Chains A and B, each alone.
Chain A
Amino acid sequence: MITTASHACRYGYYPGCSLMATNRAYDISTRSVARELEIELVELDDWNCCGATAYLPVREKRAFVLSARNLALAEQNGRELATVCNACYVVLRKTNKYMAEDAHLRDDIRQALQAGGMDYSGSVRVRHFLEILVNDVGEASIRSRVQRNMSGWKVACYCGCQLSRPFDDLDHPEYPRLMERLVEWLGAAVVPFPLAAKCCGGMAMTTHPETGQVLTGKILKVAGQRGAGCVATACPLCQINLEAYQDKVGRAVGARCAIPVLYFTQLMGIAFGMPPVELALSDNLTSLEPLLGEKVTS
């Protein structure tokens, strides 16, 4: 199915805290791919932490206020807010939804925003950049940018948990297809990967390593068993869990887990023939050089 490319080209952009340092390659490659596709990402001015999954266990309403301040910033610039982090995506969307459904909560949050000189009426639509690429930009536009022959790339498309859960209106909650469709448009081979929406363990890699290592290990192990040459990710926390502990998680699941891991935006940039520096490929902890057939220098 060819989707016509009649997309709104301007979106508010919320990078999120992890994209400032640890996962800056995701930010750099996202901006590069957007530029190539003539999508304007306007970074929210002075955005703050969304609260992620770690603030909710302390105070729910405070966490919602953190998110709502960003929604208020986004509302000043337009109605569509793009993010590439799964945790930011879920928390921002959740705040938006709960504010819409619960009048008491909405009043409390708006009063809090007003105390700080801001307000939010509820008009922003929170979107994941992956979904924007597939649904707004579309197949024809993306295919037309591909420069490199990707037929030798066998990709396990790992979406992580929070891209399609709990909000399953855009993709299947357990067997998401969005990233697979995108990767097919790039001309790469998609390996069947039933763990696409299983959890990598998230913060448990630090707080409960014995649990986190098994969850991440299963993902890498199955990707290898299915013949993948690399794993593409859509979340900064998934990326670091999958790339940083391959020896440890390999021991935890009793399998070899050495496999290159990269953001789906980096994979797109590679297919578009963009130079490694524009995708910050040298940031990755797993080497992409065997796949690229060239040296990656920063």
Chain B
Amino acid sequence: MPTALAKELCDEFLDDVYALPHGEKLKQCLQCGTCSASCPSSAAMEFGPREIIASLRAGMLDRVLNAQTVWLCVSCYSCTVRCPAGIPLTDVMYELKRLEVDKGLAKDATGETMAHAFAETVDRYGRNAETTLLRKYFLRTNPLHALAQIPLAIRLFVRGRLEIFPRKIKGLDSLHKMLAAIEENGRR
């Protein structure tokens, strides 16, 4: 990504973050590192949430997008409750994920594929259907990994815990009207 474009996108993105409830508090980050130290998956990240904020404030959004970081956030809210500046970091991570989805920039295929497969399943049936979701997910990522899931699927099946045919909610048409109406109101 050219630097100028990255800078422009970064400014646009920061405006989106500031529009989140309490998003303005990002400006008050003191770089203490509590977030990164609290993050259960930071060990697997190229760099943690503290460095994400530093990069964003330096206009280096491309650095964040190029790193294996954002999709490792498991939404446990540890950083959010511990942050001394009150930054809603989990929401910032969601905003970053949405940016990657929206611009087609996600480097981390598995997290994004899962989110998409989930949203499609819910859009179609009004509810999540785990068997359908996982079938979509493994077909799009690595079908061979699905084979490794077969023993567990059998253990669940014999206990009657696998739903083979997803059921639609009755009010699906009404729900679709609602989703179409909100879609007219911008990216978030």
Residues of chain A having any CB pair with chain B under 8 Å: 17-18, 20-24, 46-49, 51-62, 64-66, 69, 90, 97-98, 101-102, 108-109, 111-118, 161-162, 165-166, 168, 173-174, 198-199, 201-204, 206-208, 210-211, 215, 244-245, 282-283, 285, 298
Contact = CB atoms under 8 A, between A and B. Distances in A.
B122 A211 contact: no
B101 to A, nearest CB: 6
B170 interface: yes
Given A215-B40, A283-B161, 12 more contacts: A48-B169, A57-B101, A60-B95, A66-B175, A90-B77, A101-B21, A112-B179, A115-B180, A115-B181, A161-B76, A173-B77, A202-B75
A247 B78 CA distance: 27
Nearest to B112: A57
A49 B127 CA distance: 4
B178 A18 contact: no
B47 interface: no
B119 A59 contact: yes
Contact of B21 (A47, A98, A208): A98
Nearest to A245: B152
Given A111-B181, A115-B177, A215-B40, A161 B77 contact: yes
B126 to A, nearest CB: 4
B77 A165 contact: yes
Interface of B: 21, 40-41, 44, 71-72, 74-78, 80-81, 88, 90, 94-95, 97-98, 101, 110-116, 118-119, 122, 126-131, 134, 137, 152, 155-156, 159-163, 167, 169-171, 174-183, 185-188
A62 B81 contact: no
B149 to A, nearest CB: 9
Contacts of A58: 98, 101, 115-116, 118-119
B110 to A, nearest CB: 4
A254 to B, nearest CB: 16
A190 B171 CA distance: 44
A102 B182 CA distance: 15
Given A58-B101, A65-B178, A204-B72, A48 B126 contact: yes
Contacts of B174: 116-118
9 contacts: A20-B163, A46-B171, A57-B97, A69-B178, A166-B81, A173-B77, A173-B81, A206-B110, A211-B44
B188 A59 contact: yes
Nearest to B77: A165
Contacts of B170: 46
A171 to B, nearest CB: 12
Contacts of A208: 41, 44, 71-72, 110-111
A246 B7 CA distance: 46
Given A118-B174, A162-B76, A283 B81 contact: no
B127 A17 contact: yes
A62 B184 CA distance: 11
A109 B185 CA distance: 10
Contacts of A69: 171, 175, 178
A62 B94 CA distance: 14
A199 B114 CA distance: 19
B89 to A, nearest CB: 10
Contacts of A113: 178
A48 B178 CA distance: 13
Nearest to B179: A62
Contacts of B127: 17, 20, 48-49
